[in-house]
């Protein structure tokens, strides 16, 4: 947990930092726009990151005219995008490790792939395959 994620600010301080009324923060909490932590007594505790999110909500609402349902959807999609970007980073790291491991295995063998064997002769032979027919009236070879 980083300092910006620590839920340490009481509602009045967070509201002042965000330029909002404390009641607005309570409403946003009820709507699920911001999820403050809770103190042992039940009071809301906000992080610096929460305050930045409150400011973004205010900007979207006042400057861009987005309603609260739209803001909630934007926040959800941004979180989803961040989660997916993190997952892509994890998969890229895993893939790089697998490529490195495959290269190590290839370096240990005389041939790049164990399922392929080298051959020194080439051929131009043509092989014709015909399925075998069975049953009454089938020609016998």
Domain ranges of the chain: 3-108
Q: Which two tokens stand for residue 101?
A: 């491991």
- CATH number of the domain located at residue range(s) 3-108 in this protein: 1.10.1660.10
pLDDT tens across the length of the chain (141 residues) = 676 788 889 999 999 999 999 999 999 999 999 999 999 998 999 999 999 999 999 999 999 999 999 999 999 999 999 999 999 999 999 999 999 998 888 777 665 555 666 666 777 878 787 877 777 766 665
**Which pTM was predicted?**
0.63
Nearest to 61 by CA among 17, 28, 15, 32: 28
Instruction: Name, in order, each residue with C-beta under 8 angstroms of 27's C-beta and a sequence gap of 6 or more.
Output: none
């Amino acid at each position: 947990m980083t300092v910006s994620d620590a839920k340490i600010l009481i509602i009045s301080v967070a509201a002042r930092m965000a330029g909002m009324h404390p009641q607005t923060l309570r409403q946003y909490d009820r709507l699920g726009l911001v999820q403050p932590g809770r103190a042992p007594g039940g009071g809301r505790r906000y992080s610096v990151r929460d305050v930045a999110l409150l400011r973004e909500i205010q900007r979207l609402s006042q400057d861009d005219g987005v309603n609260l349902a739209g803001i909630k959807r934007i926040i959800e999609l941004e979180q989803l995008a961040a989660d997916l970007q993190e997952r892509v980073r994890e998969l890229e790291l895993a893939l790089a490790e697998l490529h490195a491991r495959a290269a190590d295995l290839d370096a240990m063998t005389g041939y790049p792939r164990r399922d392929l064997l080298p051959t020194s002769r080439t051929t131009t032979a043509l092989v014709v395959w015909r399925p075998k027919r069975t049953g009454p009236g089938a020609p016998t070879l």
